[in-house]
Chain A
Amino acid sequence: MTKIELTVDGAAVSDDVEPRMLLVQYLREKLGKTGTVIGCDTSNCGACTVHLDGTSVKSCNVLAVQANGRTVTTIEGLADTAEGDLHPVQEAFRECHGLQCGFCTPGMIMQAVDLLAENPTPTEEEVRLGMEGNLCRCTGYHNIVKSVLQASGQTEGAQA
């Protein structure tokens, strides 16, 4: 067991973890951050995407011990949802019907936030390439791409 101390969604946390424990397992099993989910075991799907020191990572691809001393933000800490706030990307996903079953959505949103931080006004092509590491089986990506573009302030609302 290894002791780790880190900040998750604004709160300082500390635990003894097995060195092999993945960050996503730590978030879900130790912290109860079940908003972040596991969709595959080959780091293809991106459902587990969170921010580590402000950059998106697939948390199935990071060991919990690697997050020691660092700051993790999950979908649950992206906005002050207790106050009813939503991050603009969350709002855009709802507005543009960018989700159906919602399983890939936390990862999609976290990746989109990172994408827009790097490139605030992406083209459709840049959005499609930037979101390539996140799989969705419901939406055919059409409305996900639209959501990201809308969050960037370049388009208005959803079109059916």
Chain B
Amino acid sequence: MTATQDRPAAEIGKDRRRKEDQRLITGRTRWTDNMTLPGMLHLAMVRSPFAHASITSIDVDAAKASANVVAVLTGKDFGDELGVCINAWPITPDQKTPAHSPMPADRVAFAGEVVAVVVARSAAAARDAAELVDVEYDELPAVVGIKKALEDSVLAHPDLGTNKSALWIFDSSEAGTGGDVEGAIEEARANGIVIEREYRQQRLIPAFMEPRSVVVDPTGEQITMWSATQIPHILRFALAATTGVPESKIRVIAPDVGGGFGGKLQTTPEEWIAWAVARRLSKPVKYTETRSESLMAAHHGRDQVQTLTLAADKDGKVTGFKVHLDADLGAYIAIVGGGVPVLGAFMFNAIYKFPSYRFECQTVLTNTTFTDAYRGAGRPEATYAIERMMDELAAEVGVDPLEIRERNWITHEEFPFTTVAGLEYDTGNYEAATAKAKESFGYDELRREQAERRQRGDRVQLGIGVSTFTEMCGLAPSRVLGSLDYGAGGWEHASVRMTPLGKVEVVTGASAHGQGHETAFSQIVADRLGVPFEDVEVLHGDTQVAPKGLDTYGSRSLVVGGEALVRAVDKVIDKAKVLAAHLLEASEDDLEYTAGRFSVRGTDQGTTIQELATATFAGHDYPEGMELNLDADATYDPVNFNYPHGTHLCAMEVDTETGAVKMRKYTCCDDIGTIINPLIVAGQVHGGLVQGIAQALWEEAVYDESGTLVSGSFVDYLLPTSADTISFDVVHTDDPSICTTNTLGTKGVGEAGTIASTPAVVNAVVDAVRHLGVSDIQMPCTPERVWRAIHAGDGDAPTPGAAMPHFQEDSLNQDEGAGQ
């Protein structure tokens, strides 16, 4: 502990405006697609229109002859130099993992897979010529959908002999963390309550706003790759590991990156193809995907069928929870592929004291785009399942949904608490977060209004949805990852450098893409080192500048990367103290460090950290044995995850005649420990909420039976707009539960909104119409699905005639004034 601990924090907790914004609001940006290099060539991909087919021939002659085309290359033209796309997390030793070439030569396994690449002097010429590549396919039967895949009648990869990739199991009685769930279910069937449900986690698309782009420059001693990626360090590692180029010859830069949400936590076929083409032609190349390509071929998220059995006693105290997931991996196992649903294994028990628990996850392969992390990654799915089930249990017992939660949750006196999934939750206060959320939401008044509307039989009914979530974030203790057979660690690295004129350069292995690390990390360093906020420069996202790191995902940057930073700063202060004592001719024991200044106790003598930095630069006077710099590195491996939690309350209005839903109010009280910058935290919460709400109400990646993505543009994949959403009521508890496993007491917040909001919204929609006999509505809760749920039992049928177009069949369908 250093002396700065005793000083009131000036920066931490302040709603600093972001350092990043000046460039971004004036268009002075460096997106990968903005890069132009001398002699740069442009790539266009030729993609398979079939979900599953053998490639019988590829005729590239016409494309090659096209103006300004430099080369047309196929999988056959490359050997091992193309490398492979890796799966870094085989979830079981016997996992069936199909070989994943960036550009297969013989067979495609999903629609959108790259079969050839055109290289031309301009992007337009490349795109034109791509249309001229003539690929002959022999179409094979495609398997689409989890249930079809489980039948094994049509195989995504015939050579594997099955679509079942891996079965991962956690059982509390085997792990010694709880009892036998089958016994609990048997007992509940006899004397208690058993709730059995099947929930569908539809497939989603991360849909970051900046399409992926990659530039490779092979003309230097190091081959440089710029990529719109969340993971420059992992990308460099994977390029070296699979293409034979030593790491020391590879530089990866993630410049300005326009959002990721897990969607840029990938090592992509397109990056590998660009890499191989640049090396082959010895010229810089650029590839930027179209939005359609992005939606079709960048990885998707979620996509599970959840089979759930909850056992409880008659009072609604849960005695056991059994979870079986079937998770769609798509055509290949992406970098974290099968691991994403497994991350949920530890979260289905959520904030509750369940005596017994069993989790099974069966992953399956299908002829669809591969799936991987999307904001929350495994935890939104788990939270959805348990929070929907707790509402069902409340309905069965006949009590308020918050009451059933209170009967089961861990009380604030019980922390630290080891859960039935084996995690140790360090701190939390579910009572406080719930009380605060209820008050801000006006829970009791809205419940009264709901009762009145029900009694009156209003056409528009009101529903109130609850989600009391927690999550594990701060990925991750390396030893835990090792025990799960993950292919890397979870540590983070930071360096702090004092420049000769007293500025501070902070190097982090985290790689921001919109989170505001430059601002938040500057606040941490300014406080701890006692220097002005403006004097701190945060450097990241370039493996030559920040050579070590494990990048940004899993709500880890602050809680893991921030702790590495704290430790590096403390080392700088320790080093500076030796020099200060020497220059002040005092004992180190007599020095105090406050607000960036060492002073000798009881005197007015002192020296600042900036003066010491300059003295180190000069090197004219320093103690024997001192290394002549004030710089320090730190690598931090977390000892535990951390567990932010919160209570989210949502009021939805449901039109019982049309099925249309409308959000009335949304309140969330998140307890995330110490808040570094409340403005940035609020932004993370808002954005997270809308992504979770969008899963509940709007978004779904839809395939037809032949494996064609029919939601492959922003016309069809329904991203919410400002007109679809409302302003949110975001509050925090007055006395947050400080995290005990990092110095600043912080918990992750990047994924919280997304994890919590989906079940809150669906619970609210179901709550609005439960009295009409509805107990579930599949996501997204479209007006049609809501309407069908309401009218499922009453024999009423939709009126297709009224929903048909209103124009004459033989006349043009034109608005007045159209075509002018």
Contact = CB atoms under 8 A, between A and B. Distances in A.
Interface of A is mostly: loop
Nearest to A124: B727
A141 B29 contact: no
A79 B28 CA distance: 13
Nearest to A44: B714
Interface stretch (B597-605, B675-683, B777-785): B675-683
B259 A145 contact: no
A72 interface: no
B713 A139 contact: no
A118 interface: no
B690 interface: yes
Interface stretch (B72-80, B149-157, B384-392, B511-519): B511-519
Given A44-B714, A76-B27, 4 more contacts: A37-B31, A44-B715, A140-B687, A142-B682
A160 B678 contact: yes
B668 to A, nearest CB: 12
Interface residues of A, number: 62
Contact of A37 (B210, B683, B721): B210
A118 to B, nearest CB: 16
5 contacts: A33-B27, A40-B713, A45-B291, A131-B722, A158-B679
Contacts of A52: none
B339 interface: no
B516 A42 contact: no
Contacts of B207: 137
A54 to B, nearest CB: 18
Contact of A35 (B29, B259, B689): B29
A90 B26 contact: yes
B686 A132 contact: no
B719 interface: yes
B31 A103 contact: yes
Contacts of A105: 24-25
Nearest to A104: B209
Contact of A34 (B27, B515, B683): B27
A64 B33 CA distance: 20
Interface in B497-543: 513-516
Interface in A31-47: 32-42, 44-45, 47
B147 interface: no
Given A135-B209, A141-B690, A141-B725, A101 B27 contact: no
A45 B714 contact: yes
B722 A93 contact: no
A140 B20 contact: no
Contact of A102 (B29, B682, B713, B723): B29
B261 interface: yes
Interface string B696-720: 0000000000000000011100011
A139 B27 contact: no
A136 interface: yes
B22 A160 contact: no
A36 to B, nearest CB: 7
Interface string A27-70: 01000111111111110110100000000000000000000000
Contacts of A133: 721
A42 to B, nearest CB: 5
A32 B33 CA distance: 11
Contacts of B23: 102
A33 to B, nearest CB: 8
B527 to A, nearest CB: 18
